[in-house]
Amino acid sequence: MRYIEDDLTNKTILITGGAGFIGSNLAFYFQENHPDAKVVILDMFRSGETLSNGNLKSFGHFKNLIGFHGEIISGDINDRELLQRLEREYKFDYIFHEAAISDTTALEQDLMIKTNVNAYKDLLDLAVAHNANMIYASSAATYGNAESPQKVGREAPNNVYGFSKLSMDHLSREYMKTNTISIVGLRYFNVYGAGEYFKNTTASMVLQFGHQILSGKNPKLFEGSDKILRDFIYIGDIIQANIKAMRPQESGIYNVGTGKARSFQDIVDILQQELGTSLECEYIPNPFIGSYQFHTEADIESSKEFLDYAPAYEMEDGIKAYVAEIKRIYETEVKK
């Protein structure tokens, strides 16, 4: 689906984190809907380097870009010389900034702030120099345990990742005061869809439950999972919000969710219906009580008003659209 009718012929688009989940989906959106635009991907492809929690430092994977025909640059957004070269050698019209240390359990506060906040400032300076509109990934993690519905202005981050994203939002507002470029921060809620498999253990529970079911294992849920609710959003609506953020009515920070909270039990029930299974669920004690969000729901009124954003996928629609890819990944990556 094409979300804007603008002619992007001869426009140059930079996507940081373009080999990741959302970045790669953006790349293919432009390739399919605006083939005359020039798309440049910058990604620090995975190297095996891990954080202290054992998770990979970078989730970028070449398989997310198989079929992509644009330019690909391997590099770190913390490399100022690289960013200076991009400023000299290109003229970007739009920057989609998806690169980040996105692991919410990462303990390296120094690396998190350096990568998510300081490098973002350098990218904002690049955007200003090129007069390029900036669309960047903020996060619902900025809200921490704030009551639902989560609304911009009511933030209470409870980990360094959420703090770093909120710091990006504060920085963006300062740039909005003194620069004419459009700057839009998108606070993603619980995203699922094609391209997330290489996030490993941080991939959505939609994918993880799907693979449990396909392997014949009983889905394992926390006790009371019918009462643990999240705003789960399909990748198609994330792409819609990003594309519409190219032409916002107003720069700002906007929630990107469905505005509806659904349970983890709903995920399993819908998957079983789509996969034609009736495995019995196993319920295990929740070890995260006290440090776990039990309800998230995005207030999307300002997103509707200023981005013309309207979620198109209910959870039933999103999982139905995703299930063929869940099966393909299971056959080609999990079973091999």
Strands, E, within the chain: which ranges? 12-16, 38-43, 71-74, 94-97, 133-139, 183-188, 190-192, 220-222, 229-230, 232-234, 252-256, 262-263, 282-284
DSSP-based three-state secondary structure for 50 = strand
Q: What share of the chain is helix, strand, coil (3-state, %, to 5)?
A: 40, 15, 40
User: How many Å apart are CA 297 and CA 154, to the nearest integer?
Assistant: 13
User: How many Å apart are CA 319 and CA 315, to the nearest integer?
Assistant: 6
Residue type, 180: T
Task: Using alpha carbons only, give the angle 100, 101, 107 rounded to the nearest 5 degrees.
Answer: 155
**Known catalytic residue at 199:** yes
Choice among 3, 29, 120, 161 that is catalytic: 161
Please check whether residue 114 is in contact with residue 263, taking contact to mean a CB–CB distance below 8 angstroms: no
Choice among 11, 38, 165, 199 that is catalytic: 199
User: How many Å apart are CA 118 and CA 137, to the nearest integer?
Assistant: 15
**Known catalytic residue at 304:** no
Asked if the peptide bond before residue 285 counts as cis, ω within 30 degrees of 0, the response is no
Burial class (CB in 10 A: 0-12, 13-18, 19+), 327: middle
Half-sphere exposure of 160 (CA within 13 A, CB side): 16
Neighbouring CB atoms inside 10 A of 156's CB total 13
Residues annotated as part of the active site: 161, 199
